[in-house]
A and B are shown apart, each in its own frame.
Chain A
């Protein structure tokens, strides 16, 4: 990978060049390099397969130049990008594009100004060993981690296969998922005095196992910010297979309103995929958030506290600075049920402050009174699949989303609280089907689902037979218990890592599907 020192040098030198342009009011030079390495696993015992289907990587590097400058009586904002040319020549080409494409954005009032009251974070969140591995070692590591997952899953199945006296083909076992290594480096320099850099590494593994003839499905996953040579994925593969075995014998249950314990994957789907967009300051500005005009109000059960924290030590989503140069930190979103903050970038925060009359109507409070709650700690140039990409504009993204309670419960306490109900471990394609502002959601319960009887997990529920049909804005008011068992969890194509515990909710509406009537 391109060295961080080179990115730092070019952003510094590049800024010196850019700011000498006539008419420049403010400018920012950003450089990055990103490697996304993936081992995609497809192992089936009843169909021909390759095991490790795709050992692959995608890489990008580039320079972005953003300028705010005077032209005639207008102030224009321009963005230019040059791929795979980390040099002053690359900066010059990006600058020319930024000048050519500049537009007059009446809401824009400049780039991020460093906040003197915010101390710089010293930690970096990367593994040098992982960052600097060469292609041959990387290829061997990818093959090792991927085939270990398969081996773990087979060993997880062994006892079940013996007990049932089933051949591998008769087992009809599927193992699918991936091991994912993200390595990213970025640096930026701005005329507002920011000169900083960051680098991080993440290892993610997410697996789905299924005994298809039994319609029994389970999941397992792991995430690390650093791995060493002794690291093994064997246990994740074994756990996935055992989760599928535990789901054998699933039963249909009727569609109705249930007391539900949502497991970490389902919680991640509900809180990361469906609730979080409503806590994005851009969505508040658009006016579609279910929390429009509700700042300071109780919007959920008082049991819930929700925050984003990019500085979590060991957090797989941790970053030291944003892609605008802001020191990252903890952003409290919901505290004991009250709406107390939003994820934001500098451009959106500035716009809300500049248009304070409109913003007051949208937020329910004058934004000048809640600057701390709209602090731009989440401006990143993330792309789908990881990386801090120079070609992308800054957007608002979470990092480590943490769900917790001031009255956390053990798993046993949560199950007791529910008494008779259901445990939903994994939801699928759960979307805001009525638009964001309606809060209406729908998705199917596809894996790791169980009946809860007298406070204990009982028999499994048949996957793909229940569809959740409810309203996310109402569901969060019906939280009756939050666990103390957060584990880092990821969703397909999501940016953030959700540190998800069990969450119990009351009166959640499910419809029975696939009855084959």
Chain B
């Protein structure tokens, strides 16, 4: 199976399926067919553990029933090589199952509507805001084609990267590395006439290190990821957000772990103090505290059980739209067309052309990422953020590239203006409140700032604040805007771990520091 085999699928979709899309009970059907080819390798302390070069092929169907009370049904499946030969038959069977689910749902919905009176008034027919049915082809961008990378090359790359971290310093006791490169092609086809053929590459490296000093202090476990939506040049030529080859990146993480191994625990600062956050860290703030709560499905309470609600939206009458949520220099957006990391695409998984969505402009909250269905609920235009991590999964509203816009101040000046404060570098694991209204995010390193100079490093501290208070306190943004790649943003049930991009510049604000022990 090759991604080029989807040429056959595209032909089948054009000629073999239109009749099944329009017949029977469905008012709308879309299908997504996706094929990937890639190779990944894992090394531990410079030794090979596993390498795998493989492909995948998947199909997902959404049907909306037009009888009863309009409702949706879905069906997804991982396919094999034989399904390519019999694609039309497989797709017809899957469409039938999705239709059966939509019908059962619409009948049950209709019965509920009749029985539950006022408690059923909020139940609405499933409706998608119209979008232009597009026919388009979007090629992948790469120099070093993932399909031409051998498993032996990737095995050697993983080993060399792992060895680079392990040999960096005697304090590094363990170095595990995962590298991967791949290409994905997706065809979206709808009963409205859309036929979109999009391809993209993805190459990334994740480094895990354990460091311990000779004094036997508590060890440090640290991991980080870099990558890009490119071919293998992202890792071997340093064409990623960190501007480092995979080996150089491994050494950077090893260096940070060595610093941490000797560092004292961060002190507790129980009142807001000046913090300067580097782009790698503020990019995670853009993701967790602005991007996630700007997903309209969260705002509409559709994720209350798992991913949570939004501090930006109470209900139709009570929300932050048009209100100040940050300082006047704060602007934030999500933009699927912004390159430099993961999360880049031209059309989302229901064929909507992707657009930049400004969440915050000069401190004022503006807009949410949406899907056709959620756009219809709030009366907005669809902006192309309905995405799944695989064609077999049902899409959700996902971040693309969510970022805080850059400013004009050199980062060194931002630091030099601080009399007493902390310079926070990189990110580890965040813990965010349910509606994203409060956060505790761990930088990898926290340095003291005294009289404008960076001083000693501390370990295991966390930056913590109520979200609005923190954004209102931002008084400087750097001219070093950078986009970063996040490999595993989780949402949905079952959990969909998805690649997205985050971005931001050096930023200065005020927050508390939680003790590093």
Residues of A that sit less than 8 Å from B by CB: 36, 38, 40, 42-62, 77, 79-85, 90, 93, 97, 100-107, 135-136, 139-140, 142-144, 146-147, 150-151, 154, 167-169, 172, 174, 176-178, 180, 206-208, 210, 212, 286-288, 292, 384-386, 391, 393, 428-438, 440, 442-444, 446, 463-464, 467, 469, 471, 492-493, 511, 513-517
Contact = CB atoms under 8 A, between A and B. Distances in A.
Interchain residue pairs A-B with the least CB separation, the first 4: A385-B494, A84-B80, A103-B48, A56-B74
Contacts of B377: 47-48
A110 to B, nearest CB: 15
A212 B301 contact: yes
Nearest to A153: B119
Interface of B: 39, 41, 44, 47-54, 56-57, 71-83, 97, 100-105, 107-109, 111-112, 115-116, 118-119, 121-124, 126, 151, 155, 173-174, 176, 208, 210, 212, 218-222, 300-306, 308, 314-316, 377, 392-394, 428-435, 437-438, 440-442, 459-460, 462, 464, 466, 469, 490, 493-495, 497, 514-517
Given A146-B108, A442-B462, 15 more contacts: A36-B494, A55-B73, A83-B79, A84-B80, A84-B83, A93-B81, A103-B49, A147-B108, A169-B122, A287-B210, A429-B434, A432-B429, A440-B516, A440-B517, A492-B306
Contact of A47 (B71, B315, B430, B460): B315
A428 B101 contact: no
B159 to A, nearest CB: 9
Given A57-B76, A286-B176, A469 B514 contact: yes
Given A56-B75, A430-B431, A81 B47 contact: no
19 contacts: A50-B123, A50-B124, A55-B72, A58-B392, A59-B76, A81-B54, A83-B80, A102-B51, A105-B47, A135-B97, A139-B105, A176-B302, A286-B208, A391-B56, A434-B428, A437-B219, A440-B460, A442-B514, A517-B466
Given A48-B122, A58-B392, A442-B514, A433 B54 contact: no
B516 A435 contact: no
B434 A428 contact: yes
Contacts of A292: 219
A290 B435 CA distance: 31
Contact of B108 (A143, A438, A446, A517): A143
Contact of A101 (B53, B108, B517): B53
Contacts, number: 314
B78 A139 contact: no
Contacts of B208: 286
A514 B439 CA distance: 10
Contacts of B101: 55-56, 139, 142-143
Contact of B221 (A83, A144, A435): A435
A435 B394 CA distance: 32
Contact of B440 (A210, A288, A433): A433
Nearest to B103: A139
Contacts of B109: 50-52, 147
Given A44-B301, A174-B304, A464-B438, A393 B493 contact: no
Contacts of A511: 464, 514
A384 B493 CA distance: 9
Contacts of A167: 118
Given A493-B494, A493-B495, A286 B174 contact: yes
